[in-house]
């Protein structure tokens, strides 16, 4: 079990009081190859995929508004392309539509809080941005790929 009982209780209380609509967590992992691959095919082991999968499975068991879909980065290329996934472990948070929210790496420590906040925001189907900010962002005419990097402390 990833979460201690008091953590599960706190997470449950937070999600119960804040999740409005269902959210799907689309999780991309990579299993160890079960067969011998040709030498020209290099498959790097996925650090933290197992732990991330266990955490997400437990999290989705806490709230019936969190649905978990699991795909293999190597085998499920159609889903990888659909969600524009660049590596593993990766999460896409999906509500009534795909908002483009992605997490790469294990969401532990402070990143777990950011994941919970992302789940809540997607479930509300609206952002916390001010009308002025939405107006300014609405004037952008070219695609922008925004990334936020964090490091463990």
Total domains, the chain: 1
Q: Using one digit for the tens of pLDDT, what is the confidence trace for 111-144?
A: 999 999 999 999 999 888 899 998 998 899 998 8
Give the pLDDT confidence of 30-83 residue by residue, as tens digits: 976 555 555 555 566 788 999 999 999 999 999 999 999 999 999 999 999 999
How far is it, in rounded angstroms, from Cα 113 to Cα 119? 10
Show the domain range for 69: 5-138
Q: Domain with 115 in it: what CATH number?
A: 3.40.30.10
- Per-residue model confidence (pLDDT) at position 45: 76
The separation between the first and the last C-alpha atoms of the chain, rounded to the nearest angstrom, is 24
Reported as a single tens digit per residue, the pLDDT across 72-125 is: 999 999 999 999 999 999 999 999 999 999 999 999 888 999 999 999 999 999
Q: Is residue 56 part of a domain?
A: yes
The pLDDT, as a whole number, for residue 34 is 53
Q: Which two tokens stand for residue 30?
A: 């990579």
pLDDT at 60: 96
Q: Is 48 part of a structural domain of the chain?
A: yes
Closest CA to 33 of 46, 17, 51: 46
């Amino acid at each position: 079990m990833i979460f201690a009982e008091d953590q599960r209780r706190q997470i449950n209380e937070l999600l119960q009081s804040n999740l409005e609509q269902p959210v799907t967590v689309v999780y991309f992992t990579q299993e160890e190859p079960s067969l011998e691959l040709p030498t020209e095919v290099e498959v790097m082991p996925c650090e933290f995929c197992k732990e991330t999968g266990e955490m997400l499975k437990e999290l989705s068991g806490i709230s019936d508004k969190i649905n978990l879909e699991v795909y293999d980065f190597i085998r499920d290329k159609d889903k990888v392309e659909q969600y524009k996934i660049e590596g593993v472990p990766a999460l896409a948070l999906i509500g009534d539509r795909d908002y483009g929210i992605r997490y790469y790496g294990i969401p532990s420590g402070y990143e777990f809080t950011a994941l919970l906040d992302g789940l809540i925001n997607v479930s509300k189907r609206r952002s916390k941005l001010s009308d002025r900010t939405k107006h300014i962002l609405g004037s952008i005419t070219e695609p922008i790929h925004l990334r936020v990097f964090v490091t463990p402390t």
